[in-house]
Amino acid sequence: MRTAPTILHLDMDAFFAQAEQASKPSLRGKAVVVGGLGPRGVVATASYEARVFGVHSAMPMAQARRLAPNAAYLVPRFGFYRSISEQVMQLLRELSPLVEPLSLDEAFVDLEAGGAAWDEASARLAGAELRAGIRAVTGLTGSVGLAASKMLAKIASERAKPDGLVLIEPGTERDLLGPLSVRTLPGVGPATGDHLRRAGIHTVDELAEAGEDELVRLLGKAHGHALHAMALAHDERPVVAEREAKSVSVEDTYDIDIHDRLRVGLEVQRLADRCVRRLRGSGLSGRTIVLKVRRYDFSTLTRSETLRGPTDDPAVVREAAARLLDSVDTTGGVRLLGVGVSGLADYTQEDLFAQAAGAGAVSPAEERVDEPAQEQAAGPAERHWSAGHDVRHAEHGHGWVQGSGVGRVTVRFETPDSEPGRVRTFRVDDPALQPADPLPLVRRRPADPAGTPTVVGGEAGGRG
């Protein structure tokens, strides 16, 4: 393990909720909860204002509503979050070529590899400058942990939350880890934690004292050896810049089980198109098409078909997914559907024997990947408006959906750079109201003497 705290872990603070607050002036400083809003929905992210009431990620949305009835409840806008994430990851790559993204809002950085840090002082300076850069570019905050290993850097960033920086000095690791719960260590989930608890092991100190032989007996050779090393603060895992994707997939969980076989088929086609868009966005193609079906009784079935060569043709993927669906009994209802592509390659070789009739171009309406299933392919009278999603009105301009029901939709008209806006209500089928793309967050990087705007979440000058 290295002797200087030159591994950095960045974790954006309540990322989805914070991004929503940045783009919606009326929500700044307010409790915001992002996630699935249906009966089976769960919380993806809660703002710190919402956490005061006990709301946290992975909580059932119904429970969150009971705890914080006055919070703003929004459906995620993953395309928008992804665009902000790309800006943040670019800042990390300016520090080092070794950046290991873990998710849209979390990554490890090897500061030593990029020459950005070599000792405690330079590491602390790099972390502080990164936090300032993220705030300048996006207006958002992130917490930074610095340590001599990935495990400790992640623990440090958790202690830094929200909007802070914590550096663990080399030589102090054992004292820091000792009293912590075993669940703090990577690889100790609920099942392993319960197993250790039954053996009388609750803290990292107790884990170290148990000895490697006992941990191997309890957990197996690989897991026991790894956990004993981590309990002694030994973590030699390197920061890995590239993680090869093994598959690309999308799935939807439905608030109400789908019983209509025709509707199930249409959903599979829609998911196939979304999967191809994600595939193409990564510059990939794939040979194996996978269908996932979770039925009314929670039983989950997967079916796959391998083509003669890799493809990124939506028509080919749709046809293969449809054939796979033919082999699945959906009697009783379907609660989840998913379509994936594996056997990835960075080139295509179209399957000459595919039953698809045409090239299957994706329509502009289908490009709105952030819309829920109900909005896809729906006429004006069937239109479903998701809370938090962007709209544009012919007269009032850009806004976002506060809520909808009983044939009405309520919209607040504001932009990221405006004052909190006015609220108006319309018929759900009002032709003057249309779905829109998110507006960009425009910030200025302090290091740029010209003050050239940096655009987050869209293109500069796109919309007022």
Instruction: Quote the pTM value.
Output: 0.71
The sign one gets for the Cα dihedral 152, 158, 163, 169 is: negative
What is residue 28's three-state secondary structure? coil
Can you give the pLDDT of all 464 residues of the chain as single tens digits? 788 999 999 999 999 999 999 999 999 999 999 998 877 788 989 999 999 999 998 899 999 999 999 999 999 998 899 899 999 999 999 999 999 988 889 999 999 998 999 999 999 999 999 999 999 999 999 999 999 999 999 999 999 999 999 999 998 999 999 999 999 888 787 778 888 999 999 999 999 999 999 988 888 888 888 889 999 999 999 998 866 667 889 998 887 889 999 999 999 999 999 999 888 877 788 889 999 999 888 888 999 998 887 888 889 999 999 999 998 999 889 999 999 998 887 544 433 333 333 333 332 223 333 333 333 333 444 578 999 999 999 999 999 999 998 899 999 999 999 999 999 999 999 999 999 999 988 554 444 433 333 344 433 333 33
Q: Of the residues 20, 106, 350, 414, which is catalytic?
A: 106
> Token pair for residue 264?
């199930």
Residue 106 annotated in active site: yes
Domains, in order of start, for the chain = 1-183 (3.30.70.270), 187-231 (no CATH), 247-367 (3.30.1490.100)
pLDDT in tens, 53-65: 999 988 999 999 9
Contacts of 303 (CB under 8 A, 6+ apart): 290, 291, 293, 324, 325, 327, 328
End-to-end CA distance of the chain: 51
3 neighbors 148 (Cβ within 8 angstroms): yes
